[in-house]
Amino acid sequence: MTRIGFALLKRSLLVFTVVCAMVSTLTANGVSAAVAIEGKVEALAKPVSAAAVTLWWAGPGPAKQLAQTKTDNDGRFTLRADTANSDKGVFYVTSVGGEGQTTAQQSPGDALQLMAILGTEPPSRVTINERTTIASVWTAAQFLKQQQLAGHALGLKIAAGNVPNLVNLETGGLGPVIQDPLNSSQTPTLARLNTLSILLSGCAQSRSNCQKLFAAATPPGGAAPDNTLSAAQNIARYPWHNAKPLFALLDSFYPVPAGKRWRDTPIIPYLNFAPSAWTLSLVYSGGGLNSLGGIAIDREGNMWADDNFLVGAQSTIFAGFGGGLSKLAPNGKPLSPMTTGYRGGGIDGPGFGIALSADNKVWATSLAGKNISVFDLTGKPLSPESGYDFDGKLGAMQGIIATPAGDIWALDNGRDQIVHLPGGDASKGRILGGAGKSTDNALELKAPFHLAVDQQDRIWVTNSGSDTVTRFPTGDPGKAEQFKVGFAPRAIAIDSRGNAWVANTVGHPTSREKLAFIEAKLKAKAESHKKGISEEQKAAREWIDLYEIITRFPGGTVSWLGPDGKTLGTFDGNKSLIGAWGIAIDGNDNVWVANSTGRSISQLCGVRTDTCPPGFTTGQAISPKSGYIGGLQIVTDVAVDPAGNVWVANNWDRPDEGFKQTPDEALSTRFGGNGAVVFFGLAAPVKTPLIGPVQPPFAMGKL
């Protein structure tokens, strides 16, 4: 090679190196990335030709159209784009119109609209069909408006991450999680997703079917949709509305043929009877999850849970093998050790008490351990092996919160005390209230269970052993006030306007029989306490008595207290509140209640009635009389994440066995509930972690 040739080669290599470095830098910084997707559009399990397929990128602002093409005669397409890709948004594809297995006169035209949310890194192959549409719409219900997907980055990422659990994006078939043993045959979700998909497929049969679907999918007080994508969004956002008329369309679209037993639908199985609401939920398990007490969502959308019992242990109410902490990713993937969860730091059988602080710490209280523990976000214990137990001065611990000021407050349910850790510093901790604490007797606590802090820096505490709530300024606990609520109050939450919402497990008993039964239980409890039995035995007896009360006399209420402490309303959720336990407020100030023995959750219209369906008033149940159901056992806590998903804690499965000294051997590991249940896109998103009153996600700052 000549000197000139060598110089040219050297220069070319230098240019090539620089270009490669630029491309690498641009891609790494999220400035540019090449996207190539091959796919197909299907309806009725048949190809759709001449459909307009568009690739979009969704972020905080309006969605950006990146590429568009049309499907060929086999319904196939190829999309290529150089796009401004980053971790602040997700890709999705839509399909509009096209010709399927119908005549031109029957063709629905642009009324047939489908989609698939692909995530932050789109797959190279994708199928767009009715199933991908339902999975995408339900998980992203809070961010979709017709074809426009937009929202804060974390919410979009969470929504996109859950789509593959419901549907296989490459094939358009069912995803792995919805087909696993906990979901396929144990919940109605698989059949609901299929049935919703079948309803959309009916529109592909004819225009008249489209009109029937659109009429049934008209939102409360709104106009009828004109395409299947908008129809699906209406059903997802108002799952309780027209539930039976929508189901009745199966008979219109796919009647059972004469002499046959089943409908000739494109996919199976489908629902055999109308649902109470068209919700989609999945049960997530693993990571040590067992008998979940309290749950909390961190800044990345991960769920943390207290585990009353250890997975696989033969726990009973009398002798529970204490569990630790569990952590799940927003898509349900276990992040903590599969059987044990996170242990150490004194954690031993935590109950309802779990909180995340602004300095990225996880705080938990233990019933069995009678202490307070703290972990970092990797699950590493930061508290000593004995936890913070104040030299044995604590009893069975329950609620705990972190305040915006950085303080930690925790409740001693067993000994009627409050623990205060200024700035989260246990060395400066103090115990308030309790018997013999003369300076703080104004607290008048009775089995304090849960607590919250309001916008005026006041702590609200529920007294589960009575029918009161205690409130005091954080700077002066001696100035406590008492407010009447329902009997056996559990969780409490503060909305954006400073109102307190309290879940009353027993409620407001009025019948003479119920009152007599409760009084008998209280008398028996007082007698047993005179016999000098242990705290553990007393607690076990109290749990059994409470369970018997709320199962023998189903009921429960929610109390609405104004910022001044005045009771503004008492609600029973159209009789759907059964053993009301956990409570949460969403970004629209709607109220969510976990119904323990009702095995359901209820949604109540909050103080901002403009965010409720037309005509609803504060405290009125939005959810059906049965509540929202699907995969729930006996539940405790409820929490809303930044995508508007509602997480619920399965606490007990077989109390009939757990209340025995020696349970049936075959069922001896079944006392604790199995997993967390996630209802997709039901609520208005919130900022997480919850530190103080609820805030909408835009308060999360720059994303």
Which DSSP string do the residues of 215-255 spell out, in sequence order? Answer: HHTPPTTSPPPSSHHHHHHHHHHSTTTTHHHHHHHHHHHSP
- pLDDT band (50, 70, 90) for residue 542: confident
Closest-CA residue to 330 (of 644, 71, 88): 644
Q: Is 625 left (phi over 0), alpha (psi -120 to 50) or beta?
A: alpha
**CA angle centred on 153, ends 401 and 136, rounded to 5°:** 105
Instruction: Write the CA distances from 457 to 73, 112, 512, 559, integer angstroms.
Output: 65, 53, 40, 21
The tokens describing 142, both together, are 């809070």
What's the DSSP call for residue 35?
A: E
Model confidence over 482-516: pLDDT tens digits? 999 999 999 999 999 999 999 999 999 887 777 78
Q: What is the pLDDT of residue 372?
A: 98
Q: What is the pLDDT of residue 442?
A: 62
Instruction: Write the CA distances from 263 to 53, 236, 257, 267, 269, integer angstroms.
Output: 31, 24, 7, 10, 10
Mean of pLDDT values over 143-165: 97
Name the more confident of 557 and 3. 557
Q: How are the residues of the chain apportioned to helix, strand and coil, as percentages rounded to the nearest 5? A: 25, 30, 45
**Percent of the chain surpassing pLDDT 70:** 90
List of domains in the chain:
35-166 (2.60.40.1120), 281-700 (2.120.10.30)
Distance CA(50)–CA(226), nearest Å, equals: 20
Mean of pLDDT values over 258-274: 95
Model confidence over 311-346: pLDDT tens digits? 999 999 998 899 999 999 999 999 999 999 999 999
The 10 Å Cβ neighbour count of residue 52 is 17
- Whether the Cβ atoms of residue 632 and residue 648 lie closer than 8 Å to each other: yes
Strands 500-507 and 417-421: unpaired
Peptide bond into 108 cis (omega under 30): no
Closest-CA residue to 101 (of 52, 173, 45, 53): 45
Model confidence over 116-135: pLDDT tens digits? 999 999 999 999 999 999 99
**CA angle centred on 334, ends 301 and 149, rounded to 5°:** 35
- pLDDT band (50, 70, 90) for residue 535: confident
Distance CA(695)–CA(703), nearest Å, equals: 16
Q: What is the pLDDT of residue 224?
A: 98
**Percent of the chain surpassing pLDDT 90:** 83
Mean of pLDDT values over 671-698: 95
pLDDT at 440 over 70: no
Half-sphere exposure for 440 (CA within 13 Å, toward CB): 21
Q: What is the pLDDT of residue 666?
A: 96
- pLDDT band (50, 70, 90) for residue 528: low
- Whether the Cβ atoms of residue 50 and residue 71 lie closer than 8 Å to each other: yes
Q: Within the chain, what is the greatest distance between any pair of CA atoms?
A: 108
Name the more confident of 165 and 539. 165
Instruction: Write the CA distances from 393 to 442, 450, 540, integer angstroms.
Output: 20, 20, 20
Strands 125-128 and 33-43: parallel
Model confidence over 557-607: pLDDT tens digits? 999 999 999 999 999 999 999 999 999 999 999 999 999 999 999 999 999
Question: What is the Cα Rg of the chain in Å?
Answer: 27
Distance CA(478)–CA(158), nearest Å, equals: 44
- Whether the Cβ atoms of residue 637 and residue 582 lie closer than 8 Å to each other: yes
Strands (E), 97-252: 113-119, 125-128, 144-145, 148-149
- Whether the Cβ atoms of residue 630 and residue 540 lie closer than 8 Å to each other: no
Residue with tokens 């309006």: 62
Model confidence over 340-398: pLDDT tens digits? 999 999 999 999 999 999 999 999 999 999 999 999 999 999 999 999 999 999 999 99
Q: What is the pLDDT of residue 531?
A: 63
Q: What is the pLDDT of residue 536?
A: 76
- Whether the Cβ atoms of residue 643 and residue 661 lie closer than 8 Å to each other: no
What's the CA dihedral at 233, 173, 302, 37 to 10 degrees?
-90
Instruction: Write the CA distances from 367 to 81, 388, 389, 505, integer angstroms.
Output: 56, 13, 12, 19
pLDDT at 195 over 90: yes
Q: What is the pLDDT of residue 334?
A: 98
Q: What is the pLDDT of residue 30?
A: 42
* Type and span of the H or E element at 208: helix 207-216
Closest-CA residue to 685 (of 60, 126, 151): 151
> Please, is 426 exposed, middle or buried when counting C-beta atoms within 10 Å of its C-beta (0-12, 13-18, 19+)?
middle
**CA angle centred on 40, ends 78 and 95, rounded to 5°:** 85
Q: What is the pLDDT of residue 596?
A: 97
Distance CA(416)–CA(432), nearest Å, equals: 9
Model confidence over 628-638: pLDDT tens digits? 999 999 999 99
Half-sphere exposure for 182 (CA within 13 Å, toward CB): 20
pLDDT at 534 over 80: no
Name the more confident of 518 and 548. 548
Report the residue count for the chain: 703
Arithmetic mean of pLDDT over the chain: 91
In sequence order, the β-bridge partners of residue 376 are 361
Type of residue numbered 423: G
Mean of pLDDT values over 269-294: 97
Type of residue numbered 404: P
Distance CA(438)–CA(435), nearest Å, equals: 8
* Type and span of the H or E element at 163: helix 153-166
pLDDT at 693 over 60: yes
- pLDDT band (50, 70, 90) for residue 522: confident
Name the more confident of 268 and 12. 268
Q: What is the pLDDT of residue 2?
A: 47
- Whether the Cβ atoms of residue 567 and residue 557 lie closer than 8 Å to each other: no
Model confidence over 12-52: pLDDT tens digits? 444 333 334 333 333 333 434 688 999 999 999 999 999 99
Q: Is the dihedral of CA 541, 547, 550, 553 positive or negative?
A: negative
Peptide bond into 689 cis (omega under 30): yes
pLDDT at 3 over 50: no
Closest-CA residue to 200 (of 178, 216, 184): 216
Distance CA(686)–CA(629), nearest Å, equals: 22
- pLDDT band (50, 70, 90) for residue 520: confident
Q: Is 301 left (phi over 0), alpha (psi -120 to 50) or beta?
A: left
Q: What is the pLDDT of residue 82?
A: 83
- pLDDT band (50, 70, 90) for residue 94: very high
In what side-by-side order are the strands of the sheet with 397-402? Answer: 397-402, 408-412, 417-421, 430-433
